[in-house]
Amino acid sequence: MDRPGNLRTARVFGKKIVLTVVALVLLATRVWAGAELCAHDALERQQCLASPAQRIVSLSPGATELLFSAGAGDRIVAVSAWSDYPPEAVTLPQVGDSNRLDLEAIVALQPDLVVAWIDGNSRAQLQKLSAIGINVFWLAPRRFEDIGLAVEQLALLTGQSELGRQRAADFRQGLSELQAEYADARPIRVFFQIWDQPLMTVNREELISKAITLCGGVNVFADLPRLVPRISAEAVVTANPDVIVTSGEDSSDLSGLARWQQFPELAAVKSENLFVEPPSLLARPTFRMLDGTRHLCETLERARATL
């Protein structure tokens, strides 16, 4: 006689369990949806995503490299011109360069994250993307520490936090070891020629200058106010650097430094300390800066041997 009652009780109990499970699932879904991924960009703004970015547009070659380093290369749907590293980046669609972006093409790609570069992209243009709800994350690595941080932030926004932390840690460890190796290096005065016509160099805030310092070098134009200032040949002669360095694909091609042969009184010319560094390793503030800095340190060590 009591079986029907027991059956009804079991059914009611079962329904309660099902409803409880459904409620927990819905609660978990709401909690996940509210667990935003947040990071501060170079404009000191907190950018938050409700879920890891799946469709990313990179607006500078440096940003493209950093995204790949963060493990998000397969999320990039378009890049800017000159995004040539890693090799996979070359095959991606392009949406403009530092002078002009195709905003319509970017919007049509429906990105959930756009990564921009403070020194290379127009804020006015990208404000139009922000105004229609597209997340724009700005980068501007000025220090070696900023490179690792940028990778960690991009990894966070793309759901690759652990990978980003590990790769950034490896980069920092490599820098620390290199810094220790050259901590007691004899100071040597360096002029780094960024461009020949017009003649341009870097001040202390540019990462190349920080690489020079890490190697025990002294940037003779460190105190100039502009990040990449124009200078005169007379200013170089007055500074009288021990070594003159530029960048180029062929380390044996010194044609970019030929003008300095007109000044035999220069210490760098007397000691034949004119060098060409690989441009791909120092041109962008990415993980490859570690290799570029190591190469530069070896170059300056060769120069020291002549003084």
Q: Which helix (H) or strand (E) holds 41?
A: none
Sheet-wide strand order for 217-219: 217-219, 188-193, 243-247, 274-277
Residue 246 CA to residue 257 CA, distance in Å, equals: 8
Per-residue pLDDT, averaged over 105-109, amounts to 97
User: If pLDDT is split at 50, 70 and 90, which confidence band does 35 have?
Assistant: low
Per-residue pLDDT, averaged over 108-127, amounts to 94
Across the chain, mean pLDDT equals 89
pTM of the model: 0.84
CB atoms within 10 A of CB 65: 24
Residues 57-85: tens digit of each pLDDT: 999 999 999 999 999 999 999 999 999 99
In this chain, the answer to whether the domains covering 37-175 and 184-304 adopt an identical fold is yes
User: If pLDDT is split at 50, 70 and 90, which confidence band does 40 have?
Assistant: very high
**Residue 291 is encoded by which pair of tokens?**
């290799």
The correct answer on CATH 3.30.420.40 for the domain covering 184-304 is no
Do residues 67 and 115 make contact, with C-beta atoms less than 8 angstroms apart? yes
SS3 124: helix
**Residue 110 is encoded by which pair of tokens?**
């429906």
- Strand bridging mode 76-78 / 113-117: unpaired
Residues 225-249: tens digit of each pLDDT: 999 999 999 999 999 999 999 999 8
Per-residue pLDDT, averaged over 260-284, amounts to 95
CB atoms within 10 A of CB 183: 9
CB atoms within 10 A of CB 304: 18
- Residues of the chain above pLDDT 90, percent: 82
SS3 170: helix
Residue 269, phi-psi category: left (phi > 0), alpha (psi -120 to 50), beta (remainder): alpha
Residue 189 CA to residue 240 CA, distance in Å, equals: 8
Greater confidence (293 vs 16) lies with 293
Residue 192 CA to residue 86 CA, distance in Å, equals: 26
- Strand bridging mode 37-40 / 46-49: antiparallel
- Residues of the chain above pLDDT 70, percent: 89
Residue 151 CA to residue 153 CA, distance in Å, equals: 5
Residues 118-164: tens digit of each pLDDT: 988 989 999 999 999 999 999 999 999 999 999 999 999 999 999 99
Quote the DSSP letter at residue 246: E
Q: Does the structure show a pLDDT above 70 at 222?
A: yes
Please tell me the predicted confidence (pLDDT) of residue 279: 87
Q: Does the structure show a pLDDT above 70 at 10?
A: no
- Strand bridging mode 46-49 / 76-78: unpaired
Can you name the CATH fold of 37-175?
Rossmann fold (3.40.50)
Please tell me the predicted confidence (pLDDT) of residue 119: 85
Residue 218 CA to residue 191 CA, distance in Å, equals: 8
Give how far Cα 44 sits from Cα of 47, 110, 140, 158, Å: 9, 25, 11, 19
Residues 159-205: tens digit of each pLDDT: 999 999 999 999 999 999 999 999 999 999 999 999 999 999 999 99
CB atoms within 10 A of CB 187: 12
User: If pLDDT is split at 50, 70 and 90, which confidence band does 264 have?
Assistant: very high
Please tell me the predicted confidence (pLDDT) of residue 172: 98
Please tell me the predicted confidence (pLDDT) of residue 176: 97
Domain chopping of the chain, boundaries: 37-175, 184-304
